[in-house]
A and B are shown apart, each in its own frame.
Chain A
Amino acid sequence: MTEVVVLTTAMLSFISFWRAAAIVLCDMASTAWYIGGIVETAIGPAAPWMIIAVLLCAAPVLALYVEASGMFVRGGVYKVVRESMGGTLAKISVSALMFDYVLTGAISSVSAGQYLAGLVNTAFPRLHIHWSVDPKSFSVVFALAVILYFWRQNVRGIEESSDKAVKIMSLVTVMGAVVFAWSAYTVWIRGLRWPPHALHFTKESLGWLAPLSGTAGLAKLGLLIAFGHAFLGMSGLETLAQVYREMEAPKLPNLKRAALLIFFYALILTGTVSVLAVGLIPDAVRAGYSDNLLSGLAMSMAGPHALKLVLQAFVVVVGVVILSGAVNTSIMGANGVLNRLAEDGIFVDWFRGLHPRYGTTNRMINLFVLLQVATVILCRGDVYLLGEAYAFGVIWSFVFKAAAVFVLRFKDKSKREWKVPLNLTVGGVEWPIGLALIFLLLLAVGVVNLATKKVATVSGVAFTAAFFALFSVSERLNRRAHAKDEEHREKFNLRRAEDLRIAGERIQRPTRVLVAVRDPNNLYHLNKALEGHDSETQDLVVFTSRIRKGLALVDETVQMDSDEQKLFTKVIEAAEKHGKTVTPMLVVSNEPFYAISQAAQAVGASEVVFGVSAKLSTDAQLERLAMTWGSLQTDKQPVRFRILGPGVEHAVDL
């Protein structure tokens, strides 16, 4: 007698490197639409050079993320800082990061609204429509609509939203090609005025350092101050660490590919349009386009006015789409970060509950989206205000992360899958010079930003303190509730069925492999099976049986016990580490070998993999399996039984 429970969770399918890159770029490349205006307001027309400098610096920061992700599949700044420097600093760093995520959604959606309002106000008079919109009010309403749309998408699951990210980036690429080609034509006709190198700070952009204006000391800090004002160009990188968990095999090579793609794409798109905006838009006109600089670029091209309007409409539509995509990325990234916190016992259990239909952590998404909505309402459509507050979380989370990875080099000597270059070995000790330089640069920018970006410092510190307090209190409450059980357990949705036919619904590939698991500390065979597994052509069903006798078998409820939860948590972690899709299944039965044979035959497995048992000899395992397999076999399909363990590999065909 068997009863089947199929496990579902949101994180069992994996995405390609270009999907992962598209998710990150939806945030990072979207800054192209507003970074030029914000940075020029702060440091003058030399802004494009600083933007390019920041984008070039994304390379070492991406390298930092590749090294850290190679160490922790469920990584990100929280995990890395906690492993390296403890829970308190980890909570501070992640609180700062949450501030960045909240602002990413707010600034992107409000900026999209500004672009749309700009287009409406430009196009309507030409269409003899005597109606205009207030850009700030319009952008708030539009921003709220976008945030709510992506809130719904994220509640429905990552695969769907990564698909949207790819479509968005395809559209952006087409727009980039059109803008570059048209700009080349314009430069050919009119020539290009290169942005100047001189920095012009305003009193506002010097913040608390304004009284030192004109002194030699401040002049020395000029580059760092300017660099700090352009640092928002690096927003979104943390999301790379969050999506690494869902990246398909081979994981680290794919992460490197994604990092390279992100780096070059952002550098070419954001860097080039920033230079073109200053080079092609006349100075007198540019100030009027500070909130929608790319619209100004479109309207400053050579060509008939009507065609330029069409280009502006295209730029605005694509801008609205990618900026909206950035909202999506911020929700996904924040959800990933909050999940890592929850796994570590920071959140009370209620927050980790899964959506009954989609299997997503919808309560965390709800909390985060509420904060974004509140920020949009409070900023009242002011992009520059949001831009000033922005980057506090980015820079400080990077500082903490760089420090953590640096410390880990000494604290954890295990072999790295990949290391940030520039490592010097002296006297048998490896000195991570590259990591040290990255940390020092980031720290310098962070400290200077504290002094110059008043809005960011005040709001960032307040927000970080509030989130830190929330995390600390929540963690304390959670510890009281789970004093004896500190180990992370994945949450699963369970679907019950009367027989094993349900398994077939989820199995579609031509080759099926069933891996029987029982002991969470004995998953060697699962890892070996995952190593050789091809998710494109094979389905891998990971199976365990809950053995019950008599009435207990009939009365079984669809609840996982603690051991089963622990077992499948390890299974999911193994699948994530390899980047391979698995179908977990739990069967309630009165006999384990019958359960395995029935399950294997129900899914049409051509291979059944076991671990070495602590209780039974491999011979006895195989004998019992051969018997139960034969008694249940309804066709003559051959099957291969494999028993895998450290130094043990048996295979037999039946």
Chain B
Amino acid sequence: MSWFQKKATGSDEPAKSGPAPRAAKGIKISTLLAQEAVLFPAEGRDKGAVLEELVAAVCRRAGAADPAPFLAKVLEREQGISTTLDTGLSLPHARMDGIDGVLAGMAVLKTPIPDPNQADVQIRVVFLFFSPNRQEAFPVHLQILRGISSLFQPALIDQLTAASGPSAALELIRKVEA
């Protein structure tokens, strides 16, 4: 399988992360998130700025000293096929060498921002995650993509954009997922 043939190229210290990939089937998306990695960015930012802020928060929480390779990887992925859905959910993601679990963060945009690649789609929530770049982790990566897309339906997105802050947003996700 092509995605099973990819080899880890870096030898960075493994960052602290979320659940192990093998446990991710049927995973609850809320368990990937922590309050420190849920942001409500200020108005006027574009998608690039939001991603930068979100990557920094995720790396900070994971204890990764340098967010630059994470940002570079996610921006590289953003150059490819769109990660934004019609629902207003943007799902930037990347598979990283040197991590052994899933790292995730979320940005809720009180004022929607246009998707740089699809002018007619407005982004309202950005859910960013990194998963290990290992062959056995790819099915989990796909499960997470499917799970997030399934969970973040327009009704939840409406509620999130009306939420008072990270704690309330997390509580909403847990409630819908329960």
B51-89 near A? 1/0 per residue, CB < 8 Å: 000000000000000000000000000001111011101
User: 30 A–B contact pairs at CB < 8 A?
Assistant: A616-B81, A617-B2, A618-B2, A619-B138, A620-B81, A623-B93, A623-B141, A624-B81, A626-B142, A627-B83, A627-B145, A627-B149, A628-B85, A630-B145, A630-B146, A630-B148, A630-B149, A630-B151, A631-B85, A631-B89, A631-B150, A631-B153, A633-B146, A648-B2, A650-B2, A650-B3, A652-B138, A652-B139, A653-B139, A654-B142
Contact B2 A623 (CB under 8 A): no
Residues of chain B from 120 to 178 with CB closer than 8 A to chain A in the complex: 138-139, 141-143, 145-153
User: Across the two chains, which residue of chain B brings its CB closest to A549?
Assistant: B120
B96 at the interface (CB under 8 A from A): no
Q: Which residues of B contact A619 (CB under 8 A)?
A: 2-3, 138
Contact B2 A628 (CB under 8 A): no
Q: Which residues of A contact B143 (CB under 8 A)?
A: 626, 654
B50 at the interface (CB under 8 A from A): no
The answer, among B2, B81, B141, B147, for a CB contact under 8 Å with A630, is B147
- Known contacts A633-B146, A654-B142, A627 near B2 by CB under 8 Å: no
B91 at the interface (CB under 8 A from A): yes
Contact B80 A620 (CB under 8 A): yes
A622 at the interface (CB under 8 A from B): yes
Contact A631 B149 (CB under 8 A): yes
Q: Which residues of A contact B23 (CB under 8 A)?
A: none
User: Across the two chains, which residue of chain A brings its CB closest to B3?
Assistant: A619
A629 at the interface (CB under 8 A from B): yes
Cα(A617)–Cα(B2), bound, Å: 9
**What is A's interface to B at a CB cutoff of 8 Å?**
591, 594, 616-624, 626-631, 633, 648, 650, 652-654
- Known contacts A630-B149, A631-B150, A648-B2, A622 near B142 by CB under 8 Å: yes
Q: Which residues of A contact B138 (CB under 8 A)?
A: 619, 652
- Known contacts A623-B81, A631-B87, A652 near B2 by CB under 8 Å: no
Q: Which residues of B contact A621 (CB under 8 A)?
A: 81
Q: Which residues of B contact A594 (CB under 8 A)?
A: 86
Contact A629 B149 (CB under 8 A): yes
Q: Give, as a whole number of angstroms, the nearest-CB distance from B83 to chain A.
A: 7
**What is B's interface to A at a CB cutoff of 8 Å?**
1-3, 80-83, 85-87, 89, 91, 93, 138-139, 141-143, 145-153
User: Across the two chains, which residue of chain A brings its CB closest to B149?
Assistant: A630
Q: Which residues of A contact B139 (CB under 8 A)?
A: 652-653
Q: Which residues of A contact B145 (CB under 8 A)?
A: 623, 626-627, 630
- Known contacts A626-B146, A629-B149, A630-B149, A618 near B82 by CB under 8 Å: no
Contact A650 B148 (CB under 8 A): no
Sort A-B residue pairs by CB-CB distance and give the 7 closest, nearest first: A630-B149, A630-B146, A630-B150, A626-B145, A631-B149, A626-B142, A626-B146
User: Across the two chains, which residue of chain B brings its CB closest to A591?
Assistant: B86
Contact B150 A623 (CB under 8 A): no
Q: Give, as a whole number of angstroms, the nearest-CB distance from A2 to chain B.
A: 12
Q: Give, as a whole number of angstroms, the nearest-CB distance from B102 to chain A.
A: 14
Cα(A627)–Cα(B141), bound, Å: 11
Cα(A633)–Cα(B82), bound, Å: 19
Cα(A594)–Cα(B86), bound, Å: 10
Q: Which residues of A contact B85 (CB under 8 A)?
A: 627-628, 631
User: Across the two chains, which residue of chain B brings its CB closest to A594?
Assistant: B86
User: Across the two chains, which residue of chain A brings its CB closest to B152?
Assistant: A631
Q: Which residues of B contact A630 (CB under 8 A)?
A: 145-151
Cα(A618)–Cα(B89), bound, Å: 23
Cα(A652)–Cα(B141), bound, Å: 11
Q: Which residues of A contact B153 (CB under 8 A)?
A: 631
Contact B146 A627 (CB under 8 A): yes
User: Across the two chains, which residue of chain B brings its CB closest to A622?
Assistant: B142
Cα(A627)–Cα(B151), bound, Å: 11
Q: Give, as a whole number of angstroms, the nearest-CB distance from A150 to chain B.
A: 53
User: Across the two chains, which residue of chain B brings its CB closest to A630?
Assistant: B149
Cα(A49)–Cα(B58), bound, Å: 93
Contact B142 A652 (CB under 8 A): yes
Q: Which residues of A contact B87 (CB under 8 A)?
A: 631
Cα(A184)–Cα(B156), bound, Å: 85
Q: Which residues of B contact A620 (CB under 8 A)?
A: 80-81
15 additional A-B pairs beyond A626-B149, A650-B2, beta carbons within 8 Å, are A616-B80, A619-B138, A620-B81, A624-B82, A627-B83, A627-B85, A628-B149, A630-B149, A631-B85, A631-B86, A631-B149, A631-B150, A652-B139, A653-B139, A654-B143
Contact A629 B2 (CB under 8 A): no
Q: Which residues of A contact B89 (CB under 8 A)?
A: 631
Cα(A14)–Cα(B83), bound, Å: 42
User: Across the two chains, which residue of chain A brings its CB closest to B151?
Assistant: A630
Q: Give, as a whole number of angstroms, the nearest-CB distance from B16 to chain A.
A: 25
User: Across the two chains, which residue of chain A brings its CB closest to B139?
Assistant: A652
Cα(A624)–Cα(B151), bound, Å: 16
